[in-house]
A and B are shown apart, each in its own frame.
Chain A
Amino acid sequence: MIVEQPLSSRTLSRWLMPTALVGAALLSACTPYEMRHDNQSDARAQIWLSEESQVKVRAAQTRVFDTPDRHKMLQAIVTTLQDLNCKIDVLDEELGIVSAKKYVDLERPTFFDPSYILYRPDTLLFLTRNFRAWGPFYHRSDLVRLTVTVRDRNESQLIVRASVQFYLRAVEDPVPYQQFFRTLEQAVFLEGHAVD
């Protein structure tokens, strides 16, 4: 004859942890890449995405340099990006565009995350027998992308504009731009000033 027993602490410990772990794996809100990012499929949402005033952001992103030498400026930009450990992706001298990217480690899985068992956290590529992709995904989120453009303002001045994206969003804080231009100024031996 089976006697029904009340909930003992043994039963509790036997069931609670597996349920919690399986539940965490199922509910794991940090795992799918999409869940941590805004869904940008709505064009209207994209248009209103910018939170700061565009004029203010543009002023932070732009500096005027008193030199007509585009070539030297582009070289200084490349040197600066090398100083920042960036990888140059696009370089067009004629159009005056330099694009680069770098990864920063900010995110870490904060608890046991089953999806990370597959990867070593410091690698960008994982290969299995039937699946091949870039990962782990949190490194992709930590991607910093930047584009620097150089254009002539007048015969003796150049305008340099840097725009940075981090976590798929435009960086609107002026401080990173100030630091970028400080490094660039050191590389080009000139002082940049804000557009009047």
Chain B
Amino acid sequence: MNTFTMHIPLFGAGLLLAGILSLQGCAAPEVKPDLLAPTEAQMKIRSLQTRSFDLTDRNAAIRGVIASLQDLGFIIERANEGLGLVTAARFAEPNYYDVVTITVTVRQETAGKMSFRANAIYNNKPIDDPKVYQNFFAALQRALFLSQESTPSS
């Protein structure tokens, strides 16, 4: 019996083991019932994502959002004036293979007040760090040339 024939049962055992290993976890995952339910974490950061500014011109507000996103190095993907929506994306520091996408909506709160809401997603995880949103709103405030204090909306 040569060495090769001697090892055939071993190869067989190895392949069987490999088959068992590789067949694990191949089924498509079940749809979770809470697939479209908002998470508690999201409810908590909602107020951080929202801020109001004393503005009356809706168009200027949207242009301000676009300008601030450009200041932060984002590429605008979509802008809809009627519904006040801007989406943008950029590669994230320090690796530049991570992607940050942001969705900003502008809504008229009262006659002289605009409410801005920003949602940022890092790769596939929502960003819940308040600092990120503070930075964005600081940039937005600069872009809007506002000197008055902004107040986080409730």
Interfacial residues, chain A to chain B (CB-CB below 8 A): 4, 7, 11-12, 15-24, 26-30, 35-37, 71, 74-75, 78-79, 82-85, 87-89, 91, 93, 102-111, 122-127, 139, 141-142, 144, 146, 164, 166-167, 169, 171, 173, 175-177, 179-180, 183
Q: How far is the CA of A105 from the CA of B32 in the complex (A)?
A: 11
Quick one: which of B1, B13, B22, B97 contacts A30, CB cutoff 8 A? B22
Distance (whole angstroms) from the CB of B126 to the closest CB of chain A: 4
A21 / chain B contacts, CB cutoff of 8 Å: 18
B111 / chain A contacts, CB cutoff of 8 Å: none
User: With contacts A27-B19, A79-B105, A83-B42 known, is A166 near B7, CB below 8 A?
Assistant: no
User: With contacts A104-B32, A177-B36 known, is A19 near B101, CB below 8 A?
Assistant: no
B112 at the interface (CB under 8 A from A): no
Least CB separation from A81: chain B residue = B103
B36 / chain A contacts, CB cutoff of 8 Å: 84, 144, 146, 164, 176-177, 179-180, 183
> Would you mind naming 14 contact pairs between A and B with Cβ atoms under 8 Å apart?
A11-B10, A21-B18, A91-B78, A103-B124, A111-B22, A122-B123, A124-B124, A125-B91, A125-B97, A125-B98, A146-B36, A176-B35, A179-B34, A183-B37
Number of B residues whose C-beta is below 8 Å from A? 56
B33 at the interface (CB under 8 A from A): yes
Quick one: which of A35, A78, A103 contacts B26, CB cutoff 8 A? A35
Distance (whole angstroms) from the CB of B21 to the closest CB of chain A: 5
Residue of A26, A103, A176 with highest tally of chain B CB at under 10 A: A176
User: With contacts A75-B107, A88-B103, A91-B83 known, is A111 near B24, CB below 8 A?
Assistant: yes
User: With contacts A104-B32, A123-B123, A124-B123 known, is A23 near B19, CB below 8 A?
Assistant: yes
Chain B, 73-115, CB within 8 A of any chain A CB: 78, 80, 82-85, 87, 91, 95, 97-99, 101, 103, 105, 107
Interfacial residues, chain B to chain A (CB-CB below 8 A): 1, 6-7, 10-11, 13-15, 17-19, 21-29, 31-39, 42-43, 46, 49, 78, 80, 82-85, 87, 91, 95, 97-99, 101, 103, 105, 107, 117, 119, 121, 123-126
**Residue pair A173, B31 in contact (C-beta under 8 Å):** yes
B17 / chain A contacts, CB cutoff of 8 Å: 16, 20, 23-24
User: With contacts A16-B10, A82-B105 known, is A24 near B29, CB below 8 A?
Assistant: no
**Residue pair A144, B35 in contact (C-beta under 8 Å):** yes
Residue of B1, B37, B101 with highest tally of chain A CB at under 10 A: B37
Least CB separation from A91: chain B residue = B80
A19-B15, A173-B31 known, 14 other contacts, Cβ within 8 Å: A16-B10, A23-B19, A82-B105, A83-B38, A102-B124, A106-B29, A110-B25, A123-B95, A142-B124, A166-B35, A171-B35, A179-B33, A179-B37, A183-B37
**Residue pair B18, A26 in contact (C-beta under 8 Å):** yes
**Residue pair A87, B38 in contact (C-beta under 8 Å):** no
**Residue pair B124, A93 in contact (C-beta under 8 Å):** no
Quick one: which of A84, A126, A176 contacts B31, CB cutoff 8 A? A176
Distance (whole angstroms) from the CB of A48 to the closest CB of chain B: 18
Distance (whole angstroms) from the CB of B111 to the closest CB of chain A: 17
Least CB separation from A181: chain B residue = B36
